[in-house]
Amino acid sequence: MRRAIVVGHRGAPTLAPENTIPSFKRAVELGVDFVELDVRATKDGALVVVHDETVDRTTNGSGRVAEMTLGEVKELDAGSWFSEEYAGVEVPTLDEVLSELGDSVGYVVELKVGGVEDGVVRLVREHSLVDRVVVHSSLWSSVARVRRLEPRLAAMVDVPEPSPSTPSEALAHLANLVSVHVFKLEEWFVDLCRRRGLLVNAWPVNAAEEFERCVACGVAFVTTDCPQLIVELAKRSAEQA
């Protein structure tokens, strides 16, 4: 049996501040296959790695990312909220993450807003990481645009409610993968996607029983907040198969 591919959601967010270079490095150390990160654009067009629309939850600052310059974002402390061990950690740019980690891991790059597609594709090409990146979004039109810009990139769409029409709709938007909440995961849906040539990602898979459900349904990717647990379960499951 092929081992499930493990994606560290925002790195290793239970061990280090999410969407920071220390978090991504920790996930890589734990053995994930991919790290997932979120991309937004600042007021001056820089691509920064932040999940929320604002910086309030994950830094010592406040305000909308889209209304801040890169310089203003870089002045923020993105680590102290997690623990003093990470005081002074910065919000990274996408360029910095790709530079720091290189080809040591795969990347699931989630586009949180439209308009960043060209910049993401450009950076991925510059770092020669086209074969290591999956572009992901709930904005299906953004996924289609990325695939038209760079057909070699893999792309994944969020599926809030799986249905029999989902595979056709995902394929119409040039997706290769679909992402489903683990509580919405059903074996019939995974089978349907597989028959249409689509891989399935389940998220957030943070407990043994959730991982076992994914294995039973036949998903290819599992995205987790707890890579320290799921990486080991994935290895054990493959060995026992």
pLDDT digit string (tens) for the chain, length 241 residues = 578 999 999 999 999 999 999 999 999 999 999 999 999 999 999 999 999 999 999 999 999 999 999 999 999 999 999 999 999 999 999 999 999 999 999 999 999 999 999 999 999 999 999 999 999 999 999 999 999 999 999 999 999 999 999 999 999 999 999 999 999 999 999 999 999 999 999 999 999 999 999 999 999 999 999 999 999 999 999 888 6
In a domain, 220, yes or no: yes
In a domain, 18, yes or no: yes
The closest of 114, 115, 119, 57 to 93, measured between CA atoms, is: 119
In a domain, 143, yes or no: yes
Q: In total, how many domains does the chain have?
A: 1
- Whether 9 sits among the annotated catalytic residues: the reply is yes
- Whether 127 sits among the annotated catalytic residues: the reply is no
The closest of 179, 188, 197 to 34, measured between CA atoms, is: 179
DSSP calls for 181-231: EGGG--HHHHHHHHHTT-EEEEE---SHHHHHHHHHHT-SEEEES-HHHHH
CATH, residue 119: 3.20.20.190
Active-site residue (options: 9, 127, 173, 181): 9
In a domain, 67, yes or no: no
Position 212 scores a pLDDT of 96
In a domain, 108, yes or no: yes
The token pair at 69 is 């310059």
Q: Indicate the DSSP class of residue 64.
A: B
In a domain, 76, yes or no: no
In a domain, 110, yes or no: yes
The answer to whether 219 and 200 have CB atoms below 8 angstroms apart is yes
Position 1 scores a pLDDT of 56
In a domain, 68, yes or no: no
Domain that holds residue 182: 5-54+94-240
